[in-house]
Structure 1
Amino acid sequence: MPILIALIAFVLSGLGLTTWLRRNRAARPVPAPTERSADQLSKLRWRDFAKLVLQVMHARGYRVANEEGLPADGIPTDGSDIVLERDGVRTLLSCKYGSAAVVGAQALLGLAKSATLRGTGEVIVVTPGRFDEEAARIARQQNIELIDGQSLWPEVRPYVTTQAVPAEAPASNAAAPKMLGLAWGGAAVIGGLAWMLAQGLQTAPEEAAPQPAPAQAVATVAQAAPQAAPVSVVPTDPAALEARRREAANAITTLFGVDRALWSTQSTLLVYLSAEDADPTTDLCPLLERYPELAASRVQLQPPAGSRKPVRFKQCRTY
């Protein structure tokens, strides 16, 4: 009898919570495309953001310079800066895209020298966020054009409306299985509590009958609850592993103080610093540790060209 009561309570509460969740999601308004703003740019991946910036540059008359090893879309796979051409003048385009909303002066250090080395006479720096006052001062001194999210949005908006931009509706759909899992997990807890209550009421008149052990009740709830999916599963497909490595390097390239990042070997990440005093390890390690197979990789911190500081090595996590 207690098991039957617990089963009924589990099914009824699960169905009730599921119905409530579906009605709540159906009543939630979905943002229209006209509600998109410059804030949507910060939700894009670095490569998608760079594609939008290139479309804006193409509208301005720029074209990607033909360089060896450059992909067909003109975006370097290592996240480095892009060389553009217009009317015979070469321009260095740098997309400073990261988790920070404000780009400081440190992100601009070394750009003028990099532009000289790559044979460009102008520099354009684009970010979905904004630049602080010190960055604006350095840009004026070095004749660097800065384009923040608010300035970029009017030019990029025609391309955003025709492309897939992260919105709330897909995110809500992606969260639906998790919410249903929580609903039925809660139903399992309710069923377990109903079983414990029914068991206690049944054995209350029988003084000699032992009380149900708490461990037994917990085991019953655990059996009824849905199993959670494993976290941070490492793929076995080599192509998927390589894609994760590229994704980690691209994310690290966007950090302040980092000029570019690339894998010199399968276990060594080469990080080129944009300034001698730059130390991105605090933000770098969490990006590597998101991937279990990369968490123990060797990080080689390479100082800028001409620096007298030695090469440093870092390992975020030991094997």
Structure 2
Amino acid sequence: MIAALIALCVFALSGFGLSFWLRQKQDSSQPGEAATRGAEQLSQLRWRDFAKLVLQAMQGRGYRPVIEDGMPADGIPTDGSDILLERGGERALLSCKYGTGSIVSAQSLLGLSKSASLRGAENVIVVTPGKFDDEAERIAVPQHIELIDGSELWPEVRPYVARPQEPTPVPPTAASNIPLMAWGGAAVAGILVWFIVQGLQPDSEATSPALAPPAITAAPPASVPPAAATPATTKPVAPPAATFPSDPAVIEQHRRETANAISTLFGVDRALWSTQSTLMVYLSSEQSDPVNELCPLLERYPELASSRVQLQPPQGSTKAVRFKQCRTY
């Protein structure tokens, strides 16, 4: 009786739980499919049509295009250059990376921060119907660049698309199979629980006093020698040291990527390696202090983290050369 009651409770709870989970899983798959289909639809547009949709989405955020001399009335440059936006006195530079392929690399982001500063913008927004690679996402954070790929862009531009392509709806037969699968699984769970509870119930004959087996007296445990009872002392294991690449070509590529990324920082004119362990950073103004932004770029690679940084003031400046080391050995 107890086994049947427990099995019935498991059957009911499992049936309702599985029905809810299967319906939630079916509903959650629809937005992901819609975003993927929308990104594919955006990649088929011409650059100007794509830029127009993006500009409408930015206007939904409160931005307005800054109409400069020689620009069309809609604010979209005819030469495909970046668009200057303004919201509440704050300016941002919008860059539409449309013709660079399905994956935008970090190389496409170099120079955007400096270009934004020259045009009086504090932030940079980069949009693409494709995706960004890992290196682009790493260098975007310290340079105040917002990356919006196709799946994130689609919900913002969808209200402005004339006929958005929606994912194929789930056939009625597939939706009608959800209760059958849920309650079928619940029935299997209930039967298994019934068998388990039946096996755990004590046998009345085995527990009767007349047939109970004689008690077995356990022998006292053997005494443990003092030497054996003492646990062995283990030495703490030191954490593994950071591994450096051994290929000189890989190290040189890391130096080149780091120098290019630091050259795009605000207040930096250019950066180059004077030796294998010294990075020359030429500042564009006496007030520039890009140490807090360049150290994370150096510390991405363990072999460059302890490099010596020489901060060179602008030509004609009376300030002395400064030296910095982001991480010691």
Using structure 1 for the length normalisation, give the TM-score: 0.40
In terms of fraction of residues, the more helix-rich structure is 1
Using structure 2 for the length normalisation, give the TM-score: 0.38
